[in-house]
Structure 1
Amino acid sequence: MTQKTDFDGSTSQNNPKQRKDLLPLWIKFFIWIFLFAGIIGCLILSFGAFLDDTDLSLYGIKTNHPYSATGIFICLLFISKGFVAFGLWFEYQWAPKAAIIDAILGIIICVMVMVVLPFVFTTSYKLTFRLELIPLYFYLTDMIKIDKKWVNLK
């Protein structure tokens, strides 16, 4: 089987034609999840008054009330993740930088939930490790690698 080559002799795999081709498969998978989550976040904020008991959770922050400060914060996080996913899927130039900011914000929130909040809201400190930190780290490193290629592609 032969590979297609461009005029300069490089293979098509090394020279993607679309920005989406720069994204790893696992990020493409999560893009669809967070597109859906962003839509759900908008719907919860819009129709939350009609919902009696809604379990919302992200990065270890939990609530049952969509119109509490915590509920609005979680919904806004989901909407911002949906916005970033939209930008990545439709190849906007600002999307990798927004994804880097999203990953850094997620890491900061996870660390705050692990380290600061147990001291503030409970009398006994429980050490927890948020597993979200693992994919957030890889998301951040992948998006940093992709950023320059993404901007130069179009």
Structure 2
Amino acid sequence: MNQELESHFDEFDKLPVIRRKLLPWWIKTFCWIFMILAICALSSILMSFFISNVNISLYGFSSNTALSPIGMFIVAIMVFKGFAAYSLWFERANAISIGKIDAVLGVVICIVSMFILPFVTSGGHFALRLEIILLIPYYRKLDKIEYEWDNLESL
């Protein structure tokens, strides 16, 4: 009868590591900005029924109404960015994958707006999209923390 007693209190000695701690301050800040932006984007659809001119813009694309094809495209991108931010902030298991898709999609849209949009619009002027300056480090940081994120237990 020499059995070791197994303690169920050992689990309390292990403090859980929160995935959010892996994110740098600037990604945490942008998480809040894009979660709020997603709510505003969805609100712009509702506002379009009452106000004839609701200006929205993202990554070089702009529209005077959220109900146009370009407006719906902008709203969809804003909502997806908000979803990526929500996933990161609330430590979802697939948040890194969603964030990386968000970053790649953002870079592709910026490149399209810089190099293709000037040829198909009447303005025809080149605009350097500075969002790429943050999208590339965002992707790299998510790539760097992906292994640790996937191997941590969330609260």
One-letter code of the match for 1:121?
T
- Tell me the percent identity: 40
* Aligned-residue offset at 1:128: 2.2
Cα deviation per residue 1:65-108 (whole Å; 9 max; x = unaligned)?
A: 11000111111111111111111111000001000000000000
| Alignment-derived partner of residue 9 in structure 2 | none
Query: Which ranges in structure 2 are unaligned for 5 or more consecutive residues?
Result: 1-15
SS of alignment partner, residue 126 of structure 2: coil
| Alignment-derived partner of residue 107 in structure 2 | 107
Q: Matches of 2:43 and 2:67 in 1, distance apart? A: 12
Please provide the CA RMSD for this pair: 1.7
For normalisation by structure 1, the TM-score amounts to: 0.85
Query: Which ranges in structure 1 are unaligned for 5 or more consecutive residues?
Result: 1-15
* Aligned-residue offset at 1:127: 2.9
Structure 1 runs, 4 residues or longer, greater than 4 Å off: none
* Aligned-residue offset at 1:130: 0.5
* Aligned-residue offset at 1:125: 4.6
Q: Matches of 1:102 and 1:46 in 2, distance apart? A: 25
| Alignment-derived partner of residue 59 in structure 1 | 59
For normalisation by structure 2, the TM-score amounts to: 0.84
Structure 1 stretch displaced more, 125-134 or 78-87: 125-134
| Alignment-derived partner of residue 77 in structure 2 | 77
Structure 1 stretch displaced more, 43-52 or 142-151: 43-52
| Alignment-derived partner of residue 7 in structure 1 | none
Aligned residues: 139
Structure 1 stretch displaced more, 37-46 or 141-150: 37-46
One-letter code of the match for 2:39?
I
Computing the radius of gyration over CA atoms, which structure comes out larger, 1 or 2? 2
